[in-house]
């Protein structure tokens, strides 16, 4: 069976072409991390795919090769930003920062999902792009490995929540830690399960709202071009000015 993740979708676009994806929209704790990757089509690691389809050992091995042969950038939106502007716009902010961190202005950007940030560059959103488009798949690997390492570091600072394995997702282990230890500064207080903890909701009630692990901020049903909404750009400019 031919691989789904290939350069086929990219051939109609000019180079340099960047693929963009994010990791960590659904967790209860930690930042959202995005990556932008420009691949050299003559020199790239084999086995690139949606990071969720790769076992951790293979994902880490491909990451180690990618960062040596590709142009790449990482953008992070903090927990504070997630709570301030909501997870959707924090995702857009992280993706914008990732492209800006490339150090190269791409001729075109392909984004995983159903919408692109508002930015001054040609771009297209591709639903399930991380499983179809090799450049987006590469970005998903960089974003996932980067965020996993961030959460492993945070797990040493805040033990007892299982972040070294659950990466901040709403697993039973994480909920047990929340019940026993309470909230940390890295918990997203704008998320309903975390607000429930603050209100003292019982564990039995919390089981009803556990969040399953996912790399998506919501269901993808539509493939569209960038929209003209000014909010993302306003958020980017406001946070850049504050930095």
Q: What is the pLDDT of residues 114-128, one digit of tens each?
A: 999 999 999 999 999
**Residues 114 and 204 occupy one common structural domain:** no
Identify whether residues 174 and 64 lie together within a single domain: no
Based on the domain organization, do 111 and 157 belong to the same domain? no
Predicted structure pTM score: 0.83
Let me know if residue 139 belongs to a domain.
Answer: yes
Average pLDDT, the chain: 85
pLDDT at residue 226 tops 50: no
Specify whether the CB–CB gap between 206 and 197 falls below 8 A: yes
Whether 205 maps to a domain, the answer reads: yes
Question: In this structure, is residue 214 part of a structural domain?
Answer: no
114/144 same-domain check:
yes
Q: Is the pLDDT of residue 200 over 60?
A: yes
Indicate if 38 and 116 belong to the same structural domain.
yes
Domain count, the chain: 2
Is there a single domain that holds both residue 178 and residue 90?
no
Pairing mode, strands 32-38 and 123-126: unpaired
d(CA 167, CA 148): 6
My answer on whether 114 and 87 are in the same domain is yes
120 and 163 inside one domain: no
* Contact indicator for 13, 29 with CB cutoff of 8 Å: no
Check residues 226 and 182 and name the one with the higher pLDDT: 182
Task: Clarify whether residues 119 and 180 are in a common domain.
Answer: no
Q: Domain range for residue 17?
A: 8-150+221-226
In whole angstroms, what is the distance from residue 60 CA to residue 158 CA? 24
Q: Is the pLDDT of residue 183 over 60?
A: yes
Question: Phi-psi bin for 89: left (phi > 0), alpha (psi -120 to 50), beta?
Answer: alpha
Q: % helix / strand / coil in the chain, to the nearest 5?
A: 45, 15, 40
Residue 236 lies in a domain: no
Cβ within 8 Å of residue 108, ≥6 positions away: 13, 14, 15, 17, 18, 121, 122, 123, 124
Sorted by sequence, the CB contacts under 8 Å of residue 166 that are 6+ apart come out as: 173, 174, 213
**232 assigned to some structural domain:** no
User: Which tokens in the block code for residue 238?
Assistant: 């406001």
Assess if residue 196 is contained within a domain: yes
The answer to whether residue 77 sits within a structural domain is: yes
Reduced to 3 states (helix: H, G, I; strand: E, B; else coil), residue 191 is coil
Gap between the Cα atoms of 77 and 239, Å rounded: 10
Q: pLDDT of 52-77, one tens digit each?
A: 999 999 999 999 999 999 999 999 99
Based on the domain organization, do 129 and 36 belong to the same domain? Answer: yes
Q: Within this chain, do residues 21 and 134 fall inside the same structural domain, yes or no?
A: yes
Q: Are residues 163 and 43 in the same domain?
A: no
Residue 243 lies in a domain: no
């Amino acid at each position: 069976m031919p691989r789904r993740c290939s350069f086929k979708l990219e051939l109609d676009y000019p180079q340099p072409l960047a693929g963009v994806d994010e990791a960590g929209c659904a967790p209860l704790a930690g930042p959202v991390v995005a990556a932008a990757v420009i691949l050299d089509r003559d020199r790239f690691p084999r086995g690139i795919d949606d990071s969720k389809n790769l076992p951790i050992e293979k994902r880490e091995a491909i990451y180690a090769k990618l960062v040596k042969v590709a142009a790449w950038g990482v953008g992070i939106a903090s927990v504070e930003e997630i709570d301030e502007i909501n997870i959707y716009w924090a995702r857009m902010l992280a993706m914008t920062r990732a492209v800006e961190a490339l150090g190269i202005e791409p001729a075109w950007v392909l984004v995983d999902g159903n919408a692109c940030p508002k930015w001054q560059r040609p771009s297209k959103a591709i639903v399930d792009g991380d499983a179809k488009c090799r450049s987006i798949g590469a970005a998903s690997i960089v974003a996932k490995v980067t965020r996993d390492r961030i959460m492993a570091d945070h797990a040493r600072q805040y033990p007892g929540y299982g972040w070294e394995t659950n990466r901040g997702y709403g697993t039973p282990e994480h909920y047990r830690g929340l019940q026993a230890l309470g909230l940390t500064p890295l918990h997203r207080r704008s998320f309903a399960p975390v607000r429930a903890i603050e209100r003292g909701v019982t564990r039995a009630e919390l089981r009803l709202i556990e969040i399953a692990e996912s790399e998506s901020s919501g269901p993808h049903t539509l493939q569209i071009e960038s929209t003209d909404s000014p909010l993302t750009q306003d958020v980017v400019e406001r946070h850049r000015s504050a930095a």
